[in-house]
Structure 1
Amino acid sequence: MAREKKRRSTGRRSPLAAAALIGIGLLLTGGAYAGASAAMASTGQPAASTALTADDGKKLFQANCATCHGLDLQGTENGPSLYGVGELSVHFQVSTGRMPLQMQGPQAPQKPVQFTEEQIAAIAAYVQSTSPGPTFPAAQVLDAQGDAAHGAELFRINCAMCHNVAGAGGALTEGKYAPNLHTTTPLNMYAAMVTGPQNMPVFNDMNLTQEEKRDIISYLVYLQQNESPGGFSLGSLGPVSEGLFIWIFGIGSLIALTVWITAKSN
């Protein structure tokens, strides 16, 4: 009898064994279900398209933009009318994070984008369907394969007084500024020329032809893709930053060398 009791006591399972078995069973069941679901999805009907429409854009507009621009794009005391601005202007303002506006100020600053590309396209399509305006150009205009040298000349004549000849931006009056163009996309370069956001003038096809706009875009993309051939660009801000660098490091080094020589002789 003593031996029988001893065998029963040694054959008793650990209290954690049942929990471990249940966990393994759940893992196996979940894995099998996931595999079966994936197999059914791969052999089943294709998923429905999730592309947003102008109606979806209307809902997004009413939820995020109508407070300032009005439910019917008519504008309010807090924001201008959007009649005739077109989808190109909407894409520029929203894809750069300038809209929705964070706070009133001299001009709308760039900030992180709040919408996906699909949502931006839907809002732009809604505005375009309600009040048509400037639209997207042909792909060739944005290919950056134009005459960059001619584009540089056009940029110096029409844009450099605000944006700097190297596209580094610059200060304007009353707290306004021209942004740098070092990360601007070709589409937004074109949109800015056509729609004239904030303080920028409008360059229609009478001022700059489509080919000339293409050349300017080619020049700016060339600047983005190529480093300064002269070494440190110092922000491409011109003689002010270069002179400051010479005074601080050049003359400072000469003074330090003079002090060292004097101390050495003493």
Structure 2
Amino acid sequence: MSREKKRRSGGRRSPLAAAALIGIGLLLTGGVYAGASAAMAATTDTTVTSTLTADDGKKLFQANCATCHGLALEGTENGPSLYGVGELAVHFQVSTGRMPLQMQGPQAPQKPVQFTDDEIAAMAAYVQSLAPGPTFPSKEVTDAQGDVANGGELFRVNCAMCHNVAGAGGALTEGKYAPNLHTVTPLNMYAAMVTGPQNMPVFNDMNLTKEEKRDIISYLVYLQNNESPGGFSLGSLGPVSEGLFIWIFGIGTLIAITVWITAKSN
């Protein structure tokens, strides 16, 4: 009897052993599943990608843009003609979510983009084929490797009166505004200068050469990549926000200290 009890006691397993085995099994199963999923995703990315054509862009345009701009880009009472705007303007308006327009107003606001990069390129190619206009620049123009100092000077002379010297944007008349430039891509910076969207004037190569546009883009990208050296930017709105901050917090703190000292002395 004693031998039998020893065998039974020696053959018992810890209650944690089953939990450990289940955990190991789940980890192994999860690892195999994750590896298989990654392999399938990699295969899908390399085999399914395709480039849309201008014909695909025509279908997208007719389904999403023709109501306002017309089937032949001639424009309607709800939207302007697109003759001569070119592929660059299409890329700017659609890649920033400004188009399709959500509602009529003083200015088309930025909103989430509704199309993929391939679809935007296809629509741009369609408009360019039907009504040629400004085209995409060379990569050198948007590489942000120009003269930052010269770009800053050019920006202050030509752009700062609307966009603020730090590119923070600003209010205009009749509910319009100059947008913040801190998240704009180099390509869309160039597109804005060349196509003149919304209230922005067109800067052709007679106003600003491609080298000067490259310098301005380099300056704006520099601002995007470097934080304010003076500490809190306070919206980069200059003395207005700085004075308001000092008045509220600085003067407010002094008044609070004065009241505390008076109450303490009494």
Q: TM-score range by the shorter chain?
A: 0.7 to 0.9
Task: Give the structure 2 partner of residue 232 of structure 1.
Answer: 232
DSSP-derived class of the 2:217 partner: helix
Identical columns (%): 86
Task: Please state whether the residue corresponding to 2:228 is helix, strand or coil.
Answer: coil
Cα deviation 1:118-152 (Å, max 9, x = unaligned): 10000000000111100000000001010000000
What does 1:94-243 correspond to in 2, within 5 Å?
94-243=94-243
Post-superposition shift, 1:49? 5.6
Q: Which residue of 1 aligns with 2:51?
A: 51
Runs of 4+ in 1 over 3 A off after TM superposition: 46-49
Gaps of at least 5 residues in structure 1 are: 1-30
| Aligned equivalents of 2:145, 2:73: Cα separation in 1 | 37
What TM-score, normalized to structure 1? 0.83
Partner of 1:27: none
Q: Would the alpha carbon gap of residues 231 and 49 (structure 1) be closer, same or farther in structure 2, given more than 3 Å must change?
A: closer
**How many angstroms apart in 2 are the aligned matches of 1:54 and 1:227?**
42
The answer to whether residue 79 in structure 2 is matched with residue 79 in structure 1 is yes
Q: How far is the alpha carbon of 1:170 from its aligned partner?
A: 0.4
Deviation at 1:47, TM superposition (A): 4.2
**Deviation (angstroms), 1:48:** 6.7
- Helix, strand or coil: the match of 1:187? helix
Q: Secondary structure at the match of 2:259?
A: helix
Aligned mates of 1:112, 1:48 — CA distance in 2:
25
Classify the secondary structure of the residue corresponding to 2:59: helix
Aligned-pair Cα RMSD in Å: 1.8
CA distance in 2, matches of 1:220, 1:144: 9
- Give the aligned partner of residue 253 of structure 1: 253
> How far apart, in 2, do the equivalents of 1:184 and 1:238 lie?
21
Q: Which amino acid aligns with 2:195?
A: T
Paired with 2:121 and 2:91, the residues of 1 have a C-alpha distance of 7
SS of corresponding position for 1:245? helix
Amino acid at match of 1:124: A
Per-residue deviation, 1:75: 0.3
**Equivalent pairs, count:** 227
CA distance in 1, matches of 2:236, 2:50: 44
Say which one has the larger Rg.
1
Residue number in structure 2 paired with 1:14: none
Using a 3 Å threshold, how does the CA distance of structure 1 residues 70 and 167 change in structure 2: closer, same or farther? Answer: same
